[in-house]
Chains A and B, each alone.
Chain A
């Protein structure tokens, strides 16, 4: 601004643009200072207009108002509600221009109408309460507050302004609700074993009017779970609170489920829960698994991707051999809690290779570590329970599909027999069994791949590619370590096991014979499987 104003050349150029070609140098020399003076005068008036519009940036509107003040026609076409965006002209230090793009008329016509601007509105909030700024989103963050508070001089001691920032909750919640929330918090944190806590859980599950507290509870649970992974009793208490909340029919917890689920899943599949050996984390995992099952049952129809998401997480945990056995246990329990069809789809096909994998850990001579062995047995038990429940379900639902046992199940020697069984099956089952099942798997794999994004849709699709690929890997491992199973000694068994794995691999098919399933499960688990079979059906087999 301070550089020498308008040169006479500029006047000449402007003269040329308006059609005056032969402007004498004296005229332009005389005009130049006057033009500059007028410009400054207009700017002075424009700044006044800007101030009265309560702004600190000059806009085209201000210049227009200044021109009208001086009875000059305003310059049309430069008004803009937002401040103009200036670009620096290349090669000059302080020369700027407004980028004015050429706009195709056609484009303007064809582009969809812009959204109508929102109505001007006024909102109210407390900027300060008795001189103290509450920490609400409408006020600037606390750091700003403390930074500016330093301005306050130290010489005024009597000020003694309280620096504490009040909780935002206090302005939203009634006093009763605040008290309730605080009480529940204390109970959960301090006295999770007391009778009063049980009553609190009951109140949480049944009271109406708690809806305003839901976000705070969700936040509380998520926070505490993340912070207290080795405090077993607190975790258990938190899960109980969660269950109570999900059971309460008066509150709408759906929008907050996505915040709760990570915490719940953590309590299910975390590597370590609690810091002592005596902590019965198995129980917590079982509890949480049931919680997940009930959540899926209650809210699954509202959130169609709720169950798929949970399942994916759990399957990942289950099929990852690098994860610890405790994590596997949690995953299996969780999957089992989601229902027999999930087990049939996701566990059974992977059952056999998985058993092979944990076998070494279960044997006394192979695994010296007591804890590890115990864990392996736990996992084994969980798998058995899952498979058994699934079988039970099959037998209950499809009693009509019961086929006579394809092979004498009590005789476990049967390469030939099983082969025959396969043949018989092929003849009896029409379409499905035309091809060798494994081949079918692979041919379907492509189609399945598309579905793998949402593997559980309709509960009918096979496990995702990841799962099947993993299964292949595990199978190959099992081939290299033949005949180590406690229940399947000998090479003959190996062959039998292979066929049973085939049966299991196609367990996801709806019309899969329950008899075959039982047979193969029996091969893996032995007689313990019978406990899951209803009496009449059992007699049928035997």
Chain B
């Protein structure tokens, strides 16, 4: 006992003086020297438990309440400069106090404690609190993954030296041994000398995730080749552009002819989506000068080779894409896109998802009655608006019509045995993939109106499925916490991406097809290498479930939207958040970048489409060179809010000519 007392005194002395290194060294010494059975006693957390048991007889539940209350009052009254750093400590202490109480079986006290102090954290951690509220017995802590990981891992909190000192002094002065124990056991302080950090860093730190920040940082150090593929169609256009610039139409004509063009494009049978990047073509029109200036600012990424064998594009399709690219409307903060809205009516609350083909001519809806319905918008336009100029429709256009075409205007595709949660068109518009609660993904042909393949592999509902930008490959995301890569010709998945701690809710391909991004209910977004199946980036910052993802056409940025209406723009190479976009006040269902990457559109459950300026932010970051603290000025700005008539927007799609298509359901109670 004497020896332990001495050890304790030495330790407190070292702590008081702030001799961190010495303290650690001392611990190691002690551990080495002591015998096998005394290791347990002397290892760090147990030591604090020892102190605890010495000072107090048994575990008094009221102790937690009292000490946490003290810490809270002290923190709130602390110096403004250090307050926000100290406030960060409160949440983990609160969580662990509660779980300690639960673990020791004081259910009633735990509940009282939780309800007394939950308000403080309601704003930032509402969802975590809701989850934890249900933890009511020691077995739940083991069973519930979230609670379990919280118990297993330490929370990293960055702090300046002085804040740390203040905190320790306070805890010692008030003899808050319980809290001190928790702080020692659960929190890993990263003490940095100098001034306290900025409040804006908060977002990264306060999220409690299973993986430690270190691990995430380690992963994020891996190299990501976000450059575009070699020899894209746009490159070819660039070469051809010099020759054709004389014959190029003035911009105004292009806009007028947009509708015609869309109709005509249908006649060509849809085309392949190409990876698109910031357009560099030399246009004689005045607006292009600015665009060129921007392309100079953004350093061109090194071109990469595709890691997957990519399908070959038919020549005539290639031609039509080139034609589209030539006629593309240049969008910028001053020239906003035209938006064509497709509204679903009479859905009786059963539409789960919608998807728009690349040229906007086909619209698919997945319904909770297991059906998938496809509308041919060109045909619809024919019936409805007689005054809009009609493009002559070739005889070669496939007629998509139900058996009793006169009555209903859509093609009914039946095959799933559960609600259809997602649908995606192939880049050429000839295939549709749909994913459903029946754990399968099905491939449909829009030409034959029939189901071709049923892909079984997931064990739980498949939330999302996305075709790759070049077709043939697709990715799926499921409740079974995995994302999988498939190719159309195999019924087994090619890769399984496992690592998320909760449902994988959405998936998106990178423009160069070598990566996929997944968003999850564990509030992180991850980037995976398709070839190796490894996780190469973890993006931490969202405070609720991720619902939508979009990749910028230049391959450099990624946007993600969550349940609260926050959109975050990420830099893929650094893994950092460029800027959070606030504006929506409900779920962001869909995101889309314009083809040259200057604008982003977001559609939300609050019945609006918002247009954001991307170029201003990217310029800002390149100038400050990822100095992310100085980036507040370069926040992405909202250019325009387009409210719909009580129609939550389910999907958005920029056509190759930069016409924006939006789809949503007219709903009464929004």
Contact = CB atoms under 8 A, between A and B. Distances in A.
A52 B640 contact: no
A130 B137 contact: no
A167 interface: no
Interface residues of A, number: 63
A40 B133 contact: yes
A159 B111 CA distance: 53
A52 B421 contact: yes
A61 B368 contact: yes
A83 B642 contact: no
A61 B608 CA distance: 26
Interface string B554-598: 000000000100000000000000000001001101000000000
A57 B638 contact: no
Interface in A92-124: 117-124
A171 B386 CA distance: 11
Given A33-B137, A40-B131, A171-B387, A120 B347 contact: yes
Interface string A40-61: 1100100010011111110101
A139 B407 CA distance: 27
Given A52-B421, A156-B637, A120 B346 contact: yes
Interface stretch (B192-200, B301-309, B644-652): B644-652
Contacts of B381: 124
Interface stretch (A144-152, A221-229, A340-348): A144-152
B134 A36 contact: yes
A209 interface: no
Contact of B334 (A53, A118, A124, A159): A159
B409 interface: yes
Contacts of B368: 53, 61
B336 A161 contact: yes
A53 B352 contact: yes
Nearest to A65: B437
B419 A53 contact: yes
Contacts of B415: none
A136 to B, nearest CB: 10
Contact of A124 (B135, B353, B384, B419): B384
A121 B345 contact: yes
A216 interface: no
A54 B650 contact: yes
A5 interface: yes
A404 B588 CA distance: 94
B638 A127 contact: no
Contact of A56 (B115, B334, B605): B605
Contact of A125 (B343, B387, B463): B343
A132 B338 CA distance: 8
A81 to B, nearest CB: 5
Interface residues of B, number: 87
B140 A161 contact: no
Interface stretch (B225-233, B319-327, B372-380): B372-380
Nearest to B402: A119
A69 B439 CA distance: 11
Contacts of B285: none
Contacts of A159: 333-334, 639
Interface in A151-166: 151-153, 156, 158-161
Contact of B373 (A5, A120, A128): A120
A6 to B, nearest CB: 10
Contacts of A9: none
Contacts of B348: 81, 117, 120
B419 A122 contact: no
A403 B559 CA distance: 100
A82 B638 CA distance: 34
Contacts of A374: none
A264 to B, nearest CB: 30
B338 A129 contact: yes
A133 interface: yes
B33 interface: no
Interface of A: 2, 4-5, 33-34, 36-37, 39-41, 44, 48, 51-57, 59, 61, 65, 68-69, 81-83, 117-133, 138-140, 144-145, 148-149, 151-153, 156, 158-161, 171-174
Given A37-B135, A122-B344, A131-B639, 4 more contacts: A40-B131, A40-B134, A81-B348, A126-B341
6 contacts: A34-B137, A52-B352, A54-B648, A119-B408, A120-B373, A126-B338
**Which 7 residue pairs are nearest across A and B when measured between Cβ atoms?**
A131-B336, A40-B134, A33-B136, A127-B341, A127-B339, A128-B339, A118-B346
